[in-house]
Structure 1
């Protein structure tokens, strides 16, 4: 009958709470979220929801009635301001909520442009929460001009939505190419060509000096080299940072997120962490994964270990991105690759399947599969099994994908 409190109400939190009940925990569960809505899916925010193709209620991971049915106290619109580890309480909206075991699923927060360069002007948005997207949605009217700062997946997805809705889009990326931190040159070049073919004014290796505005609202930007661009609004997609504020103030160990061990336990034996906010040991190094799959699997692993199991969390990284009518599926982590093998013809056009396979020496690390679900599934199975097909067999489209297994 131990009291379990979960701070943060995203995908990891919902998965953790559901798993606690599924594993038979009969004690009180309190799930506390800062946002005024129940846990919801974030990936559709920058795609189907922003396009108007998905209703708000369809974003919810479970209907609100589910929490009552599961006897889970869901506190929405309730910011947690402090953790008292000695008293075993969390402070939230003037209340002290006691716990016997605590889970932190606080997620991540978007990086913002400094106020000194115009980041605080009206009409400057980030894409992280339902409120963020609701606030920017009225801006998406055909013929308007949007400036997107950052060529990661969030920026590219926002660009695709804007073009589909008839906006003029300028995207600036300070690095020499888009997707510089997360994908190989081949994948980046494929998506740069895709966006340019759809009319995006995509500028790589271009630094934003400052946003310009009138009467407190953004009107454009000054770029390095003296060039200026006009914009009716701006979307900033320059990455996120793990939300470790509560954990740090409580004195927990921090290492690119809340540092947890193989059982998702933080440096306090009564506290666990899962999802975007947590870093964990993986193949001899410490990693933090920002993905739905990791949030679900890590949340469920944390739940099991909170109830006394000793089940190491073994991550199986996978990601995806939808842009226009293109689906990118990623299996594995490409960090440390020294060679990329291409399967298919990158010049064959938007609808043709192509995949890029990352190797470190003879070891297969990751696969970027574009409109190629078979390559993704085979690559994912190979990586999870620790198998590495010969690069020449991968590159030869005459080789059946199943044969690689």
Structure 2
């Protein structure tokens, strides 16, 4: 079967004639061509009549215009290819011989100035627009834009094309009508706008993913920090309980030693560990005795012990509360006639921080004789209810609670 096309061995492109092969070689520097029985594809758009020479070109046309119906006229246009090199006249041969003796001067090719201005107004650089017009054969705005789209990843896309100075330039093909040009410009601007919006949306999605990732990392770091803090507090409480247990054991051993020392001084034999303790007898005797009401001092001691137990995790605050209560009681005991020492505003911030906010602080003052007056706004100790004995007992209990390190432990 006779060949109907020439195929470039470097890129695989199919060409209709020797002249097209020469133009292809000039543009790409490819030189390996062979005769092929595969015809150059000729797909004609049913909507606008644009011919497409490859499936890729028809796909790009569909993507840009939305036209999807094509008529295959390959068989109609296919014809045996002539391998004869086009003849040139003698003058051309002489010119060619003359030019081979000296290097040709390279210049920027002539392109359609009007279309070039239109491309520049659409935002294309001058070099890119000139390159697109030159390599698309000055076929018009659409062909130039199509060439840019197909070759936008070329490394030399923004280099100004150069051709020999004596190269014959074909007359530019007619451009689009003003209405078509306006519609094409609007279409290209709309396409550029949509592409920019899509890029912005993609970047926003990437930024949102990054924000979510950073948020998750921060939450995980916070969770780990809280978990470590919880473990630290548990270890601290465990150490405090162990220290409390050792303190109780130490006190118990000390009591047993004191008891053994007293028995030794009295000349009594050491207590047998296995000897039964008359605890039941004592309990029976106690149960037969009338219950004695707790004294003021015992009530104060129990109140202070309860205050320390309720706030055992903050020893410094408990000690400050004891010292504040001692100051209140001491001022009244020293100057019972001074009403300012016998009246305490419950809403006072200092009082609340030191005493009022601690469970048991106000109860202790009420045991000392203070009463809530004026709708619970003040604690007041009337002059005729000042009992120095009670105040002295309160001072003794507070002093013991402050100085005794084991107060409230047992």
Please tell me the TM-score bracket, short chain as reference.
under 0.3
| Richer in strand (by share) | 1
Q: Which has the higher contact order (CA 8 A, sep 6+)?
A: 1
TM-score, with length taken from structure 1: 0.17
TM-score, normalisation: structure 2:
0.17
Q: By percentage of residues, which structure has more helix?
A: 2
